[in-house]
Structure 1
Amino acid sequence: MKISGAIFDMDGTLLDSTEMWRGAAGRYITSLRKTPEPDLGEKTKDMTLPELCSYLKSEYAIATTEEKIAKGFNTILREDYLADVDIKAYVPIILERFKQKGVAMCVATSTDKSIADEILARLGIRDYFSSIVTWKDAGCGKVDPEVFKYAQSVIGTPTEETIVLEDGLLAVKGAKEAGFYVIAVADDNEKENRAKIQKAADRFIESFEELL
């Protein structure tokens, strides 16, 4: 197929950061001297930030506003990103090849835009993307088909020429529902869903090396 546009997920796709992201809510709760649920990361992995903050406030009886919870969570998330996150293998090579071919690229992520912008810049790949799209921009959850449609409208490429690269099962399904060709990228934190992801996606890759 002709590819004129590409929408990349960030955590688990471009970056080896899914485990860190899933653990951030637990680390925030621990910082409040409370004990997080063992499966907190799994329960909240597909939530938007407002949904996450509402859940944490309710479940852990946090006596502050959801806005302050969001600020505290993002502070921990940013520290984690800057301390121990790296790009997945072959990502810079693929991005450079897409750039040379004139493919318009953007990032669609659940992470706060300012944090995503900072970490991608630190890792040297921010300039490959014309924009960073978040759930807040699209007005819906990251796994909602509308997020991918909004990202497509930002880069301005036809649906039939736009690919989505994702690692999560619900996001893969959302992108397919939106009508895109989806390349699923293997991530250790989605091992339990691998068979379902392979079935839902148009293509499944273990590594970006397979796209060379």
Structure 2
Amino acid sequence: MKLEAAIFDLDGTLLDSMPIWQGLGENYLLQKKVQPAPGLQDALKTMSLTQAAQHFRAAYGLHETEATILTEIETLISGLYRYEVPLKAGAAEYLQTLQEQNVKMCIATATERHLAESALERLDIRRYFSTVLTSSEVRAGKDNPLIYQRALEHLGAPLTKTVVFEDALHAIETATAAGFRVVGVYDETAAQDRERIEALTEQYIYSFSDWKG
């Protein structure tokens, strides 16, 4: 079946950026002289930055506003997106191939827009995507299919001819439950979920050169 549209996650899928998120929540709280609860990293996996800020206020009693918490977290990582975070192997070549095949593409990410856009522009791949949708702007994390549904509406393609590319198990579970075709993209931070991801997805790839659509 000819592919008409593709919805790409950003971190861990197109960008090799997940290592910078590991321990970020704990480090932020420790800077505030607040002891993180065990399992915080696992809890944050399914959250957008806005949801994480809400969690820090509710669970840890931080007095800063959500906007202030967001700004402080983004300050810790913004330089990495602007100057350092690399593409996953084969990603640029694959995007070029899809463009040549007239496949419509967009980004659906839990990362804040200015971080995502700065990395996409620096890596010269922003031009492949008709839009960037963020969890904060649609007001739903990837435990909710809304961001994928909005992406599909934007692309205007049939569900059966659209593929979602994702690396994280919780996001893959959400997308597949909503009826999307999903290709799992390997990332070391989700290696422990490989078997469950393989069971849910129509293909599991270690590199974009492996995808056979």
1:42 and 2:7 are equivalent in the alignment: no
Moved more, 29-38 or 100-109: 29-38
Letter in structure 1 aligned against 2:79: E
TM-score between both structures, scaled by the size of structure 2: 0.92
Change (3 A) 1:84 1:41: farther
Per-residue deviation, 1:48 = 2.3
Is residue 143 of structure 2 the alignment partner of residue 153 of structure 1?
no
Tell me which residue corresponds to 2:111: 111
Query: Structure 1 segments of 4 or more deviating over 6 A?
Result: none
Q: Does the 8 Å CA contact 2:144/2:174 hold for their aligned counterparts?
A: yes
Cross-structure match for 1:137: 137
Q: Quote how far apart the aligned CAs of 1:97 are.
A: 0.2
- How far did residue 67 of structure 1 move? 1.8
Q: Give the Cα–Cα distance (whole angstroms) in 1 for the partners of residues 139 and 203 of structure 2.
A: 28
Once the two structures are overlaid, the 10-residue window that deviates more, 104-113 or 48-57, is 48-57
Uncovered stretches (5+) of structure 2, i.e. residues with no partner: none
Q: CA deviation at 1:106?
A: 0.4
* 1:25-63 alpha-carbon deviations (Å, 9 max, x no partner): 233223334444464322211112232112212333322
Partner Cα distance (1:98, 1:29) in 2 = 42
1:81 CA displacement: 2.3
Structure-2 separation of matches of 1:10 and 1:38: 27
2:93 aligned residue: 93
State the partner residue of 2:74.
74
Q: Which moved more, 1:88-97 or 1:54-63?
A: 54-63
Q: How many residues align?
A: 212
Paired residue type of 1:12: G
Answer whether contact 1:22 1:42 (CA < 8 A) is retained: no
Q: Which residue of 2 aligns with 1:172?
A: 172
The Cα of 1:15 is off from its aligned counterpart by 0.6
CA–CA distance in 2 between the matches of 1:27 and 1:106? 32
Question: Do the aligned partners of 1:146 and 1:178 also contact (CA within 8 Å) in 2?
Answer: no
Question: Retained in 1: the 8 A contact 2:81–2:116?
Answer: no
Cα distance in 1 between the residues matched to 2:75 and 2:32: 13
Residues 124 and 16 of structure 1: is their aligned pair in 2 closer, same or farther, counting only changes over 3 Å?
same
**Maintained 8 Å contact 1:6/1:106:** yes
The alignment partner of 1:6 has SS state of strand
C-alpha distance in structure 2 between counterparts of 1:125 and 1:27, whole Å: 31
5 Å-filtered alignment, 1:51-62, equals 51-62=51-62
1:2 corresponds to which residue?
2
What's the offset of the Cα at 1:83?
4.9
Contact 1:105–1:155 (CA under 8 A) maintained in structure 2: yes
CA distance in 2, matches of 1:35, 1:80: 26
CA contact (8 A) 2:83 2:122 kept: no
Indicate if the aligned counterparts of 1:7 and 1:163 stay in contact, CA closer than 8 A.
yes
Root-mean-square deviation over aligned CA pairs: 1.8
Alpha-carbon distance in 1 for matches of 2:83, 2:41: 19
Unaligned 5+ runs, structure 1 = none
- Counting aligned pairs with the same residue, the percent is 34
Asked if structure 1 preserves the Cα contact closer than 8 Å seen for 2:185 and 2:205, the reply is yes
Q: Structure 2: which amino acid aligns with 1:98? A: L
Match of 1:210 in 2: 210
